[in-house]
């Protein structure tokens, strides 16, 4: 099967931010069954994470404020060739504080051998105070356009659902020439420690992921797949093959798994891929393509 011209052996991918900081961990995830792997989001310069606590386990997901901690793109020159030994497409997640920075990091990641870039649009823009790329159709358009000009590999725009109308942003990215859209990143949320009467995260607010956000993510995929013609990659709360089937039926061509790796371990990719096949067999679907968009209309 193919997602924006990349050949995948199954429709699962590692989501950005989980086990994606080194070539060795990306290779391990590939060897354990993922159809493709995505790096942690990489920027221009090394960046430290937020103070602890920065991850909290909730009953139906994770709340994290790890943010954009990363070693800077130059450190990935050595990591990507190692990741490629896993023999699945390696997608570089990139971020920047301007369209030019996104383009510079994407170009470097292409030269290191990445098969595609995924633009993490859930980050602030320094040129427009208080603005986030992914919340602004014009800024999202500018980033995709700049990166498309800079690289020849497929460009995937990863959207946030912390917006009024995700389709407006998706359409802007499509118009700028993106090859696929990943939906969604984490949802802004918080948890309060009622004994201490204080927010648990050092940053007060963080990003919610896992089972809790799946219905929002499925809705976003469905809306985008209904209105856009680029490939859509679903992300948010995939724990089982049936969760993946739900995303595929909503119009996704593949699914990414992040929090599921935390709760179920690295064998989740193989399990989800097998469970998708079992579902197809039991329910008379002859190929993954038949599942894609089956619920649209």
Ligand X SMILES: Cc1cc2nc3c(=O)[nH]c(=O)nc-3n(C[C@H](O)[C@H](O)[C@H](O)COP(=O)(O)O)c2cc1C
The footprint of ligand X on this chain (CB under 6 A) covers a number of residues equal to 26
Which region, judged by CB under 6 A, interacts with ligand X, from 109-117, 135-143, 236-244, 273-281? 236-244
Which H or E element spans position 212?
none
Does position 64 bind ligand X by CB under 6 A?
yes
C-beta of 195 vs 270, nearer to ligand X:
270
Mode of pairing for the β-strands spanning 206-209 and 61-64? antiparallel
Residue appearing with tokens 């980033």: 143
What tokens does 101 get?
């920075």
Does position 11 bind ligand X by CB under 6 A?
no
CB 240, CB 7: distance < 8 Å: no
Does position 25 bind ligand X by CB under 6 A?
no
DSSP secondary structure code for residue 245 in this structure:
H
What tokens does 117 get?
């870039």
Which region, judged by CB under 6 A, interacts with ligand X, from 77-85, 96-104, 162-170, 230-238? 230-238
Does position 241 bind ligand X by CB under 6 A?
no
Q: How far is the CB of 281 from ligand X (least distance, A)?
A: 25
Does position 140 bind ligand X by CB under 6 A?
no
Whether the link from the prior residue into 53 is cis, omega within 30° of 0, is yes
Mode of pairing for the β-strands spanning 180-183 and 187-189? unpaired
Q: Which of residues 205-224 bind ligand X (CB under 6 A)?
A: 209-210, 213
Whether the link from the prior residue into 184 is cis, omega within 30° of 0, is yes
CB 116, CB 155: distance < 8 Å: yes
Catalytically active residues, by annotation: 123
C-beta of 98 vs 185, nearer to ligand X:
185
The correct pick among 22, 25, 41, 140 for binding ligand X (CB under 6 A) is 41
Does position 62 bind ligand X by CB under 6 A?
yes
Distance, CA of 140 to CA of 287 (rounded, Å)? 34
Which region, judged by CB under 6 A, interacts with ligand X, from 108-116, 131-139, 235-243, 288-296? 235-243
In the complex, which residue's CB is closest to ligand X? 17
Does position 185 bind ligand X by CB under 6 A?
yes
Can you list the positions of beta strands (E) in 11-159?
A: 12-14, 37-38, 55-58, 61-64, 90-94, 116-120, 155-159
Applying CB under 6 A, the residues found at the interface with ligand X are: 15-18, 40-41, 55, 62, 64, 66, 93, 120, 158, 185-186, 209-210, 213, 235-238, 257-260
């Amino acid at each position: 099967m193919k997602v924006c011209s990349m050949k995948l052996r199954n429709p699962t991918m590692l989501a950005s931010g989980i086990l994606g900081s080194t070539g060795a961990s990306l290779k391990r995830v590939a060897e354990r069954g993922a159809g493709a792997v995505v790096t942690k989001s990489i920027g221009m310069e090394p960046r430290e994470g937020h103070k602890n606590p920065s991850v909290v386990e909730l009953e139906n997901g994770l709340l994290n404020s790890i943010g954009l901690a990363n070693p800077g793109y130059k450190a990935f020159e050595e990591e990507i060739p190692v990741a490629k030994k896993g023999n699945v497409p390696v997608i570089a997640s990139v971020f920047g504080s301007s369209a030019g920075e996104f383009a510079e990091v994407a170009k470097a990641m292409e030269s290191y051998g990445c098969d595609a870039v995924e633009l993490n649009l859930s980050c602030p823009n320094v040129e427009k105070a208080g603005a986030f790329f992914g919340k602004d159709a014009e800024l999202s358009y500018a980033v995709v356009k700049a990166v498309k000009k800079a690289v020849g590999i497929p460009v995937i725009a990863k959207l946030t659902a912390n917006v009024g109308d995700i389709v407006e942003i998706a359409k802007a990215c499509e118009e700028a020439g993106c090859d696929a859209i990943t939906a969604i990143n984490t949802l802004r949320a918080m948890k309060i420690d009622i004994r201490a009467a204080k927010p648990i995260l050092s940053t007060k607010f963080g990003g919610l992921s896992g089972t809790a956000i799946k219905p929002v993510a499925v809705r976003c995929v469905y809306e985008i797949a209904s209105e856009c013609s680029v490939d859509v990659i679903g992300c948010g709360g995939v724990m089982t093959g049936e969760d993946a089937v739900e995303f595929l039926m909503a119009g996704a061509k593949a699914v990414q798994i992040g929090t599921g790796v935390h709760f179920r371990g690295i064998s989740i990719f193989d399990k989800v891929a097998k469970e998708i096949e079992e579902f197809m067999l039991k329910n008379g679907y002859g190929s993954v393509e038949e599942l894609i968009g089956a619920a649209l209309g």
